[in-house]
Amino acid sequence: MRQGNGPADKASRSPGDAIVTYKAGRHFLQIPGPTNVPDRVLRAMDMPTMDHRGPEFQEMAKRVLTGIRTIFQTKNPVVIYPGSGTGAWEAALVNTLSPGDLVLMYETGHFASLWKKLAERLGLRTEFIAGDWRHGADAAAIGERLKADSGHEIKAVCVVHNETSTGCVTPVGDVRKAIDAAGHPALLLVDTISSLGSVDYRHDEWGVDVTVGGSQKGLMLPPGLSFNALSDKAIAAQASAKLPRSYWAWDEMLAMNPNGFFPSTPATNLLYGLDAAIEMLHEEGLGNVFARHQRHAAATRAAVEAWGLEVLCADPAQHSGALTAVLMPDGKGADALRKVILERFDMSLGAGLSKLADKIFRIGHLGDYNDLTLIGTLGGVEMGLQVAGVAHKAGGVQAAMAVLAQSGAAEARQAAE
């Protein structure tokens, strides 16, 4: 928090004192979420709490419940909870599965591992296809396992679209094709917590049964809202699902949502913010939003390469548009670098998680983010590398600027044609 000390302390110091209790300028929050909340969204939330059973709220809720479908690219219902993405993970499982059901999951990183742990706590059996934390889920491996499951013991396949701990994207459309090619009836459940509104995602086209989302990343909101986008098959699965559920149950939500209401108290002010965020994404155009994120990701990777460092995600086809994870040189800790950057340049970068602790730092470039913000971010990283004594080459920022200038010129030519 940027707060000074009390008046007596201030009075006892002269302007030349070395003690600094206020840092000028804004803090650079460049973790892969929560992301910076734009002023327009903040202003939308900055209002008296409304009657969530009244007509004014009802009008807004209907608009939000319709609008959010366009972000998931689905015509089917999207259930919105007051809760974190972890809650939406649980909701996806308890509404579709029964105790002892077998779930096939893929080890893409920290968050895939956490979803597995949650499933086991619920009384589900899990099978984890091992991964190296440098790639997304392998659709072919999933397909082969399903082909071997002749008795259809596997009831669901769970994958993370954009693994926030690694910066690798799973080709969800290919996973669906693999399930279909195996002739397997398993449900497809997908986590888009760090990709929704940042990386192209198509719930209906890719045949996803439950898509899990959260508010605090590409949707440009504070934490506090979570989402389940549903297929007809998922909705029908409720009838036979036997896992206990009450708060996370879809049935009452689906019954009340068409009229703009919720069975329990919704996060009213966050929903007003979501209304504004959906409007902003529509004004920019989802295609343009995705292209912007890809452009910034490409520029970031160019900077990393120019520094002589290595991007963690090993498959260029799976590079994330939302974040870039960077491997530290041998003998250097990422946490020490992050500490230097925070203290010297007032910028937060994402830490390495579990297996990657202190081995990587993560640059978030998602949400309400433009070219100048990216250049400021990369400038902070490059200065931090120098101050921390991390071996690197100069010129990362210039390499990123060249990518942005080239893409800008291409866009100008297209506009002129």
Which domains does the chain carry? 7-30+285-416 (3.90.1150.10), 39-282 (3.40.640.10)
Helices (H), 75-220: 85-94, 110-121, 139-148, 172-181
Give me the pLDDT at residue 409, please.
63
DSSP strands (E only) in 172-309:
187-191, 210-214, 225-230
Q: CA nearest 169: which of 323, 352, 370, 358?
A: 323
**DSSP character for 77?**
-
Q: What is the pLDDT of residue 415?
A: 57
Distance between CA atoms of residues 187 and 233, nearest Å? 8
Encode pLDDT of 153-195 as tens digits. Answer: 999 999 999 999 999 999 999 999 999 999 999 999 999 999 9
Mean pLDDT of 264-275: 97
Q: In sequence order, which residues have a C-beta less than 8 Å from that of residue 395 and are 6 or more positions away? A: 306, 307
The token duo for 404 is 């942005």
Q: What are phi and psi of 6, to 5 degrees?
A: -70, 170
State pTM to two decimals.
Answer: 0.93
Strands 154-160 and 102-106, how do they pair?
parallel
Q: Is 362 annotated as a binding residue?
A: yes
Q: What is the distance between the alpha carbons of residues 348 and 377, in angstroms, rounded to a whole number?
A: 10
Residue 165, Cβ density class (10 Å: 0-12 exposed, 13-18 middle, ≥19 buried): buried
pLDDT band at 23 (very low <50, low <70, confident <90, very high): confident
Beta strand segments in 28-153, E: 28-30, 78-82, 102-106, 125-129
pLDDT digits (tens, 9 = 90+) for 27-47: 999 999 999 999 999 999 998
For the chain, count helices (H), then strands (E). Answer: 14, 14
Q: What are the tens digits of pLDDT across the range 70-114?
A: 999 999 999 999 999 999 999 999 999 999 999 999 999 999 999
Q: Distance between CA atoms of 106 and 113, rounded to whole angstroms? A: 8
Mean predicted confidence (pLDDT) in 282-308: 98
- pLDDT for 330 equals 87
Lowest mean pLDDT, pick from 4-8, 50-54, 216-220, 381-385 = 4-8
- Report the C-alpha gap between 102 and 110 in whole angstroms: 21
List, for residues 361-402, the tens digit of each pLDDT value. Answer: 999 999 999 999 999 999 999 999 999 999 999 999 999 999
CA distance 234 to 94: 11
Residue 2: pLDDT band (50, 70, 90) is very low
Under 8 Å between Cβ of 155 and 378: no
> Residue 15 above 60 pLDDT?
no
In this structure, what DSSP letter does residue 164 have? T
